[in-house]
Amino acid sequence: MGRPSRRAATAAIETHIAVLKGDPLKAALATALREAEGLGGQERRFVALAARELSRHTRLLDLAARQLGHSPGKHALTEDTALVRYALWRRLFCGEGWTRIGPEVKLPGPVRPRTLHDAVLEGLVTKPLVEPAAPEGPEAIVERLATRYSFPGWLTQRLAQVYPEGTLAGLMASLDDEPSLHFRARPPGTRDAVLAALAEEGVAAEAVACAPDALRVADASHRIFESKTMKARRLQVQDVGSQLIVLACLPPGTTLTGLTVADVCAGAGGKTLGLADLVGAKGKVLAGDRSKRRLSDARERVREFGLKQVTFPHPVPLDAVDVVLVDAPCSGTGSLAREPDQKWKLSAKAITEFQATQSALLAEVAAQVKPGARIVYATCSVLPEENDTVVERFLAKHPDFALEPVGEGWAPELQVGVDGPYLRALPPRVPGGGFFAARLVRKAG
């Protein structure tokens, strides 16, 4: 978890204050780390973890605060709310007492202004907590899970309508946990060689069975980023489900080698790199995105990896491609482990708006592709409104397209993420975030 210190606590709390005022967690964290002076590597790791944890466990931390007489609604300042949550997180999730927590939060600082005296924070850390009575009635399961895993009630209710309790508990637990780092070995098919190279450098890593090139680093020191293997571009940071989406772009029984593929929502280029490795030097990847800022990140990564087969035409000529990946804008409910602040910004209305955007985007792409071309529709959502429903409504309006099962011909160990005709990579069954993909083919003629 890194090394806590007063300076690290200050940066973590300032990050949470910015999040409470509306900033995205990633941006707030980047700002706090940039402005913090003299933080070591282990302190920076602690800041990043603490900042995510404060958003991740908000509901549970606020429940404890209410029991101790400090409901967030009573705080005069946002800074007070952040201080209370930090002190309670160090107590409840780190198992620390006032001896350790006090030096991190005592006046003067670590943030100003504030109205809470040191004695108040000490009381939050030392006063006994009584476990609340278990809720009763038909909503008991939803209430218990929402509290235990700090999810909004409306979102927990919706997930409970989709997944049985056993699956739901595992899914929510995974999305409420600090995510592991997963990598893709490159070029494809060289995972064993990459693992052997890492072992020679003393970096402990292991294969992840449910994706052919996926691996997980067991060494928490993050030495892998300084390894020769990483610097030689033999590794790319990429979630397992994201790797499976790229795999879903493979036409059944064949390869992408030499084909032309479009990634129309390329974002920062994670899947673009994977597609480039699959098409090879003789193929083409045409990348585009409506966000110029995110696409600039993709351009930089493509340059770093030296991928000459990737270009960024505008507009992307979809009538000339064999496969189109539509990694649609979505709620990101499958990525809440990495972006826990988003679960408090989502709403049922937002889900409906995402669905409308996804349907419009899919229809726009479909109108341009040639007969025989494939569209892979994907999201990082675990909600059927953004997944199955979008695909089914599309097929009902577009009889010239057919649903082609994902996973056809995949090895048995890869089938763990396949659900009927769809890719549905759900944690913890598939480690990492939650992802969805469907493959649609335009009928000839």
> What confidence score (pLDDT) does residue 137 get?
65
Contact 124, 91 (CB under 8 A): yes
Scanning 57-107, the segments in alpha helix (DSSP H) are: 58-67, 78-92, 98-105
The mean of the pLDDT values for the chain is 94
Measured CA angle at 422 (ends 416, 424), to 5 deg? 50
Tell which of 211, 237, 263 closes a domain.
Answer: 237
Helix (H, G, I), strand (E, B) or coil at 63: helix
Q: Rank 71-80, 187-196, 210-219 by mean pLDDT and report only the highest.
A: 187-196
Query: pLDDT at position 76, please?
Result: 81
The verdict on 429 and 317 lying in the same domain is yes
CATH code for the domain of 336: 3.40.50.150
Average pLDDT over residues 4-24: 96
CA 56 to chain centroid, in Å, comes to 13
Binding residue ranges:
289, 327
Element (H, E) at 198: helix 191-200
Model pLDDT, residue 72: 84
Is residue 131 predicted with pLDDT exceeding 80? no
Residues 6+ apart with CB under 8 A from 1: 45, 46, 49, 94
Identify whether residues 149 and 26 lie together within a single domain: no
pLDDT average, residue stretch 316-327:
96
Q: Give kind and range of the element (H or E) at residue 33.
A: helix 25-35
Query: Which position among 210, 265, 330, 380 bears the catalytic label?
Result: 380
Last residue in a domain, options 237, 258, 283: 237
More confident residue, 17 or 290: 17
Write down which residue in 193, 220, 237 finishes a domain.
237
Does residue 1 fall inside a structural domain?
Answer: no
Instruction: Give the residue numbers spanning the domain of 376.
Output: 240-442
| Same domain membership, residue 229 and residue 99 | no
What is the rounded CA–CA span in Å between residue 191 and residue 185? 5
32/152 Cα distance (integer angstroms): 27
> In the chain, what percentage of residues exceed pLDDT 70?
98
Supply the CATH number for residue 30's domain: 1.10.940
pLDDT at residue 220 is higher than 70:
no
Average pLDDT rounded to a whole number, residues 290-316: 92
- Does residue 131 belong to any structural domain of this protein? no
Do 387 and 280 share a structural domain? Answer: yes
Domain-embedded: residue 426: yes
The predicted pLDDT at position 135 comes to 66
Which segments are annotated as binding site for S-adenosyl-L-methionine? 289, 327
Q: For residue 158, what is the enclosing H or E element?
A: helix 153-162
Flag whether 400 is in a domain.
yes
Asked if residue 268 lies in contact with residue 294, where contact means CB atoms within 8 angstroms, the answer is yes
pLDDT of 109 strictly over 80: no
Q: Are residues 39 and 161 in the same domain?
A: no
Q: In this structure, what are the phi and psi dihedrals at residue 149, rounded to the nearest 5 degrees?
A: -110, 15
**Residues 73, 142: one domain?**
no
Residues 149, 276: one domain? no
- Tell me whether residue 265 is one of the annotated catalytic residues: no
Is the model more confident about 354 or about 293?
Answer: 354
For residue 111, name the pLDDT band (cuts at 50, 70, 90): confident
Residue 177, Ramachandran bin (φ over 0: left; ψ between -120 and 50: alpha; else beta): beta
pLDDT over 90 (residue 218): no
Counted domains in the chain:
4
Co-location of 397 and 290 in the same domain:
yes
* Residue pLDDT, tens place only, 363-412: 999 999 999 999 999 999 999 999 999 999 999 999 999 999 998 889 99
- The string of pLDDT tens digits covering residues 135-153 is 666 678 899 999 999 999 9
Question: Is 300 in the same domain as 264?
Answer: yes
Alpha carbons 250 and 376: distance in angstroms, whole number: 10
Position 83 pLDDT exceeds 90: yes
Q: Is the pLDDT of residue 134 over 70?
A: no
The token pair at 370 is 């040639």
pLDDT at 292 over 90: no
Q: How many CA atoms lie within 13 A of 260 on its CB side?
A: 13
Same domain, yes or no: 432 and 395: yes
Percent of all residues in the chain with a pLDDT value above 90, rounded to a whole number = 86
Which residues, 6+ apart, have CB-to-CB distance to 133 below 8 Å? Answer: none
Cα(175)–Cα(170) distance, integer angstroms? 9
Q: What is the largest CA-CA distance in the chain?
A: 77
- Torsion of Cα atoms, 71 then 75 then 78 then 79, to 10°: -100
* 258 domain-assigned: yes
DSSP-derived pairing of the beta strands 284-287 and 401-404: unpaired
Confidence grade of residue 228 (pLDDT, cut at 50, 70, 90): very high
The pLDDT value recorded for residue 53 is 97
* Residue 132, domain member (yes or no): no
Judgement on whether residues 272 and 415 belong to the same structural domain of the protein = yes
pTM for this predicted structure:
0.94
> At residue 174, does pLDDT exceed 90?
yes
The answer to whether residue 133 is domain-embedded is: no
Q: Which is higher by pLDDT, 308 or 181?
A: 308
Beta-bridge partners for 422: 419
CB 430 within 8 A of CB 241: yes
Residue 18 lies in a domain: yes
Mean of pLDDT values over 257-266? 96
Nearest to 28 by CA among 17, 39, 40: 17
**250 lies in the same domain as 350:** yes
User: Packing angle between helix 270-279 and helix 240-247, nearest 10 degrees?
Assistant: 40
Tell me which H or E stretch contains 402: strand 401-404
Q: Is the pLDDT of residue 43 over 70?
A: yes
pLDDT at position 215:
96
